[in-house]
């Protein structure tokens, strides 16, 4: 069942007023891959009346007012992607297409959507119910942060939007606690995973154990203070070890409570077992199809979170560094459900998460004591405490493959080859199964670069592991008579990367990978990442030494063009026969 989005649907349900109205920058796709739909279903399952308004017209009251005013709160998300990332390229050019908008035309999601939607509600509903920000845009902008598009340090989005609360991270637990507190008129400000603004006189800013960050005015002016602030912010993102944070801005304070606890497997199974329509709501379908459905309609999310912690990636700050996975029984039940859809053609497009091969294992120490403060799970090499084991994923994939009506299961998410190579017991078997059964033509890997200095800035493993993996991949394809290849994702103009580095990358890919790179993107400084911190300050935040940053758009484009320029591959060197030694 869809969440209601029109007055007629409210009438059919016999509702005089929703308890909660969710406003989203995506079209309404009722799928577990869409945050607003998933949160809406979680609240609905708990007994709340939830309506949803997708991509409202920001110039009139026709959309934002059509469901009336909620009893408890408004929930706002910019959508599945930060609105500025969705609307602009790395060179700040306006994107023409949007995979989450009907018809694919990028004309429905406003810039800084969380702020715009908050203002829209306040314009038509004076003194309204609390407005709560959520989703990845709010999550990554919850603290003082560098904004690439305005080229300045901005305060928490709560100050700019003037919303009441912000829920960060995946937020299923936090949103249920918030709804209950508002319904029962109990204290809201104790909820884990919640941010709010307090006045200087409020005792909430003096909570025992909360860590004070440098004030906004200080981080706005001084690069080293900004770096120190971000270190404290990053280190306090693990649910088991994090302290609450507070930061002064003028005469008020941003308060960030510690993160929500990760979902248990039972809780995760329950959420993904909810009744999703897995398609676009008919009201929005009339406006045009959404491209995102092509990949998510018949896909299954098996896990969430990432212990990769790449410096340019925001997943660790939103989904968390602890990987959580569903039970094989839950995944199998979803596959069986998909197989019963009339338009299912037998192909499950993907079973995975942010990275395909992070299912079914975690560091026991991390699960008991929280993430390490002084080292990472995968960089500079895979930590020996992380007992990498692909066996559970192999068994799960085999079970799904055997479901009646399923012809093919794809593992389309990217593979961490360093993880695969570190699993000496099941790594080769896992790759063998992927080559034989779970890829079709290509496998995605993301070395991102080839030069050691740049890889170090990215927090990525050395290129020798890629060559080992490629040799193993090629050998297995030859063994099984498959013509399959690797697709390499690469980044140009990352902090520390020069034209010379891109020329070396080009030679390496030509001579060692035997390709002309195609999947090359120009680095985009997403909010609340270490790489964006480097881009903003020109300083390596770990060594505190200066780092080269390419900021000229034309030069950035040239870096990319060096990589993608068509060149014939170099000839394969042939071995010269050794001269015979004469006695």
Neighbour-count burial of 580, counting CB atoms closer than 10 A to its CB (0-12 exposed, 13-18 middle, 19+ buried): exposed
- Judge whether 383 is annotated as a binding position: no
Task: Identify whether the C-beta of residue 263 lies closer than 8 Å to the C-beta of residue 172.
Answer: yes
For the chain, helix, strand, coil in percent to 5 are: 35, 15, 50
- Judge whether 310 is annotated as a binding position: yes
478 vs 469: CA distance, rounded Å: 14
Strands (E), 87-203: 131-134, 145-147, 152-154, 165-167, 194-199
Q: Are strands 20-24 and 50-54 parallel, antiparallel or unpaired?
A: parallel
The enclosing H or E element of 476 equals helix 463-479
| Six token digits for residue 32 | 């577990």
493 vs 505: CA distance, rounded Å: 12
Task: Identify whether the C-beta of residue 460 lies closer than 8 Å to the C-beta of residue 447.
Answer: yes
H-only helix segments in 185-323: 216-221, 223-235, 265-272, 282-285, 293-296, 315-318
- Judge whether 313 is annotated as a binding position: yes
The enclosing H or E element of 492 equals strand 485-492
49 vs 145: CA distance, rounded Å: 35
3-state secondary structure 377-401: CCCCCCCCCCCCCCHHHHHHHHHHH
Q: Which residues contact 244 (CB under 8 A, 6 or more apart)?
A: 207, 209, 210, 211, 236, 255, 256, 257, 258
166 vs 125: CA distance, rounded Å: 20
Q: Which residues contact 183 (CB under 8 A, 6 or more apart)?
A: 19, 72
Cα angle: 479, vertex 481, 483; to 5 degrees: 115
Task: Identify whether the C-beta of residue 396 lies closer than 8 Å to the C-beta of residue 303.
Answer: no
Q: Are strands 485-492 and 442-448 parallel, antiparallel or unpaired?
A: parallel
Annotated binding site: 306, 310, 313
Annotated binding site for [4Fe-4S] cluster: 306, 310, 313
């Amino acid at each position: 069942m869809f969440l209601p989005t029109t007055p007629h649907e409210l009438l059919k349900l016999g509702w005089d007023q929703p308890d909660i109205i969710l406003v989203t920058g995506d079209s309404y796709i009722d799928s577990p891959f869409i945050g607003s739909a998933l949160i809406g279903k979680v609240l609905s399952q708990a007994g709340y009346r939830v309506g949803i308004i997708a991509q409202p017209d920001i110039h009139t009251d026709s959309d934002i007012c059509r469901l009336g005013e909620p009893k408890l709160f408004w929930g706002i998300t910019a959508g599945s992607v930060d609105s500025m990332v969705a609307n602009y390229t790395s060179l700040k050019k306006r994107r023409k297409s949007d995979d989450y908008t009907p018809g694919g035309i990028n004309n429905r999601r406003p810039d800084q959507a969380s702020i715009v939607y908050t203002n829209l509600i306040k314009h038509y509903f004076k003194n309204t119910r609390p407005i709560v920000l959520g989703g990845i845009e709010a999550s990554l902008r919850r603290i003082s942060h560098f904004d690439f598009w305005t080229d300045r340090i901005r305060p928490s989005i709560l100050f700019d939007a003037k919303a009441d609360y912000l829920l960060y991270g995946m937020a299923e637990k936090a949103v249920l606690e918030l709804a209950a507190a508002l319904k029962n008129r109990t204290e809201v400000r104790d909820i884990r995973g919640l941010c709010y603004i307090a006045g200087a006189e409020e005792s909430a800013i003096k909570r025992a154990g909360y860590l004070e960050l440098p004030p906004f005015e200080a981080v706005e002016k001084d690069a080293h203070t900004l770096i120190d602030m971000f270190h404290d912010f990053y280190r306090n993102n693990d649910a088991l070890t994090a302290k609450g944070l507070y930061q002064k801005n003028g005469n008020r304070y941003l308060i960030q409570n510690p993160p929500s606890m990760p979902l248990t497997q039972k809780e995760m199974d329950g959420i993904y077992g909810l009744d999703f329509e897995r398609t676009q709501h008919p009201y929005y379908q009339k406006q045009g199809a959404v491209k995102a459905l092509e990949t998510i309609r018949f896909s299954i999310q098996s896990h969430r979170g990432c212990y990769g912690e790449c410096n340019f990636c925001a997943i660790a700050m939103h989904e968390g560094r602890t990987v959580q996975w569903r039970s094989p029984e839950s995944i199998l039940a979803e596959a069986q459900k998909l197989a019963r859809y009339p338009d299912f053609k037998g192909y499950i497009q993907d079973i995975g998460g942010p990275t395909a091969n992070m299912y079914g294992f975690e560091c026991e120490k991390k699960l008991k004591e929280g993430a390490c403060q002084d080292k990472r799970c995968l960089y500079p090499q895979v930590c020996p405490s992380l007992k990498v084991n692909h066996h559970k994923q192999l068994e799960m994939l085999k079970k799904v493959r055997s479901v009646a009506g399923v012809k093919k299961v794809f593992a389309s998410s990217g593979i961490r080859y360093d993880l695969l190579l570190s699993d000496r017991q099941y790594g080769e078997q896992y790759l063998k199964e992927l080559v034989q059964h779970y890829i079709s033509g290509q496998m995605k890997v993301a070395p991102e670069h080839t030069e050691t200095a740049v890889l170090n800035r990215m927090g990525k493993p050395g290129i020798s592991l890629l060559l080992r993996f490629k040799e193993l991949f090629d050998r297995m394809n030859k063994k099984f008579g498959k013509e399959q290849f690797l697709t390499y994702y690469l980044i140009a103009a990352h902090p520390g990367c020069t034209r010379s580095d891109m020329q070396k990358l080009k030679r390496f890919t030509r001579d060692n990978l035997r390709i002309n790179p195609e999947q090359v993107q120009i680095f985009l400084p997403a909010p609340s990442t270490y790489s964006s911190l480097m881009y903003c300050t020109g300083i390596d935040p770990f060594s505190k030494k200066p780092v080269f940053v390419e900021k000229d758009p034309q030069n950035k484009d040239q870096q990319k063009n060096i990589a993608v320029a068509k060149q014939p591959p170099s000839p394969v060197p042939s071995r010269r026969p050794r001269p015979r030694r004469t006695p």
